[in-house]
Structure 1
Amino acid sequence: MDSPVPDGKERFLTAPMIAALAVSTLLLALNYLAFPEFGSFGNENSIQWLISSWNKQTDYEHGWLVVPIIIFMLYHARKIIAQAPRRMDWRGLILFIPAIMLLMLSFRVGQPRVAVGALPLILLGGAWYLAGPQTARLCAFPLLFFWLCIPLPSFQQATVGLQIIATELGHWGASIFGVDTYLQGTNIRSTGGHWDAFNIAGGCSGMRSLMALLMLSAAWAYLSDLKFWKKCVLFLSAIPLAVIGNGVRITSIVVMAEYGNPEFASKTWHDWSGLLFFFPISLFGLAAVHSLLAGELIWKPSQRKKLVVKMNKSH
């Protein structure tokens, strides 16, 4: 009697496919880990450059959070991914074309960020080729989310504009609490000379906070049970929320210096006010925008349970 034909799941991981995965993993490891072609002295591979670029100078200190968030998003969708029909699809190899072009360009122009930018395309193309279009669709956002941890110089050019906005918001906010100040460029000075001028430097412009909040809002929008256009609104709301949150932070520093201890305000409070003011205000703002778009309060226990059920059904 003929043996039954194995189903798709049993045929999925064949010996040739396992061999192809092993070879592909080896090639990726060699390209991204074994060739020190980048860095100031050409002694760093692209992954080493990426990790070293998560610093204050690039305003991408949040970069180390991206990989754990990607893992969480894939884990959150694990059941839907496992239930998706699996089949090899040659169309997935199309994504390898721009990825290879980016890798070649990165070595030609000496830009490691271009090489790192090709990695999500390689992984997404591999998922599409090995498991089919539905699996690739489910993995697309988490994998492409990796782009948010790659420093882009163009974002740093907005620092000056954000410095001016932050300075004006701090000046306006301080006046609400009866603190008389005047502006000199990006400096906030006390009219009565009660404390030394506060210089709203690039680090206080809010660019770091903006990039971190954009990352969080993107993940939040992806996990939410909202229509696509509402997800876009929720994501873009991070920009005004970050600006407002930073303005409140600077206002608190000025008020603390006026009515409290100027030295404490300029040092200790300056260093900790972002954690105490900015992120709680910004996260509450995201929750409020989400509630407005969803038409219900997401922090109510009954509504939160209902929201989780909807999210599971939507996937």
Structure 2
Amino acid sequence: MNPSEEGSLTPATQPESRDNVIAWVGLALVIGFFYFGLHHYGPGRAEFVVQTWTRAWNKESDFEHGVIFPFLLAGLLFWRRKEILAARGPGEWLGLIPAVFGALLFLLSYRTIQWRVAIIGLPFLLTGSVWYLWGRRAAWLLAFPLFLIWLAIPVGFLQQATGGLQLIATRLAHVGASLFGVPTTIMGNKLIMADGAGFDVDEGCSGIRSLWALMLIAAAWTYVARIPLWKRVLLFLSAFPIAIIGNALRLISIFIIAKFSGTHFAGGTWHDWSPLVFFYPFSLFLLLTVHSILEGGLPWRKHNRREVRRTVVTRNTVARTQTP
């Protein structure tokens, strides 16, 4: 190896050039100003984009779970950090296309005072910037977690969808409660027990809140799953029936507890805590079950076997090459 080759670095270990660092700092300052410093949205146009966005994560919009999104995004980026850093390469001019498109969406949001349009444009702006500065391979690895931002935007049509989900949840709870010996009568979206106690299946109980939250979790799950793309799609789509089944069982449990422990506890404490102690553990277990079926076994055991086989093959190969 000659001296010039000895001092060379691979693209994965090559330090950032001064121009690249300056570009990243400038980009961070511009995005930070537009999304965290430009007050033009919300009541009286006194809020910046991210402030209005996070304020929309509330019970009224059935989007209380939005607070987990920043931690979920940070966890996904940390999980793939080594791959992302190793994928850095020469930037490409094509990255300017999605970056400029994202910037135009922000300008449109400023003109129309629609903060959601600005959030929709943010993944384009960030992914395009990474593509322009680090190349398409790094941008591809970052695209999925960045576009998860779309699942953290409360949108109006979800409220319109609650009508159908309310009817489905009400009928499933009615049938399920009857199977467990708790007869009920349906009156619209209200279920009345034999003793006259009634429970309204409102928008939150209909499953729209739990469905959207589980979709966000399932999307993150598919990102870290080591299975082919078509299996990842199936795993993500499984969140829909899992959310409906899990929510129906939660409603059924409310009626069963109401019969044997009283309506006060069932409609109060258990109603408020059942999503945390029943719905999410049950739904995550079903996601793991679907993942295991697609994987052909428990994911961690499957990968451990692959690593053992890879290690054995490597050792055998080294042993053969060292044999005189």
Q: TM-score, normalised by structure 2?
A: 0.88
- What's 2:146 paired with? 143
Distance of 1:307 and 1:145 partners within structure 2: 30
Residues 250, 308 of structure 1: CA spacing in aligned structure 2 closer, same or farther, 3 A cutoff?
farther
- Corresponding residue pairs, total: 306
- What's 1:68 paired with? 71
Distance of 1:309 and 1:196 partners within structure 2: 59
Which residue of 171, 177, 192 maps to 2:180? Answer: 177
Q: Which residue identity lines up with residue 226 of structure 1 in the other structure?
A: I
Q: Which residue identity lines up with residue 200 of structure 2 in the other structure?
A: N
Q: Which residue identity lines up with residue 280 of structure 2 in the other structure?
A: F
- What's 1:303 paired with? 302
> What stretches of structure 1 of length at least 5 have no aligned partner?
311-315
SS of structure 1 residue aligned to 2:108 = helix
Q: Deviations over 1:89-139 (max 9, x none)?
A: 111111122112211211122110111221111111111111111111111
* CA drift at 1:65: 1.4
* CA drift at 1:181: 0.8
> What stretches of structure 2 of length at least 5 have no aligned partner?
310-324
Q: Could you tell me whether the CA contact under 8 Å between 2:101 and 2:125 is conserved in 1?
A: no
Distance of 1:137 and 1:262 partners within structure 2: 52
- What's 1:230 paired with? 231
- What's 1:132 paired with? 135
Distance of 1:92 and 1:306 partners within structure 2: 39
Distance of 1:213 and 1:11 partners within structure 2: 40
Q: Could you tell me whether the CA contact under 8 Å between 1:218 and 1:235 is conserved in 2?
A: yes
- What's 2:163 paired with? 160
- What's 2:121 paired with? 118
Distance of 2:308 and 2:156 partners within structure 1: 41
What RMSD in Å do the two structures reach over aligned CA positions? 2.2
Distance of 1:309 and 1:44 partners within structure 2: 54
Q: Could you tell me whether the CA contact under 8 Å between 1:93 and 1:129 is conserved in 2?
A: yes
- What's 1:96 paired with? 99
* CA drift at 1:74: 1.6
Q: Could you tell me whether the CA contact under 8 Å between 1:225 and 1:307 is conserved in 2?
A: no
* CA drift at 1:309: 8.4
Q: Could you tell me whether the CA contact under 8 Å between 2:119 and 2:149 is conserved in 1?
A: no
Q: Which residue identity lines up with residue 139 of structure 1 in the other structure?
A: L
SS of structure 1 residue aligned to 2:275 = helix
Distance of 2:120 and 2:297 partners within structure 1: 38
- What's 1:211 paired with? 212
- What's 2:269 paired with? 268
- What's 2:81 paired with? 78
SS of structure 2 residue aligned to 1:205 = coil
- What's 1:313 paired with? none
SS of structure 1 residue aligned to 2:43 = coil
Q: Could you tell me whether the CA contact under 8 Å between 1:195 and 1:258 is conserved in 2?
A: no
Q: Could you tell me whether the CA contact under 8 Å between 2:169 and 2:207 is conserved in 1?
A: yes
Percent identical: 40
State whether structure 2 residue 251 is matched by structure 1 residue 250.
Answer: yes
Q: TM-score, normalised by structure 1?
A: 0.91
Of the structure 1 ranges 15-24 and 155-164, higher mean CA displacement relative to structure 2 is found in: 15-24
Distance of 2:303 and 2:191 partners within structure 1: 43
Distance of 1:12 and 1:88 partners within structure 2: 14
Of the structure 1 ranges 270-279 and 18-27, higher mean CA displacement relative to structure 2 is found in: 18-27
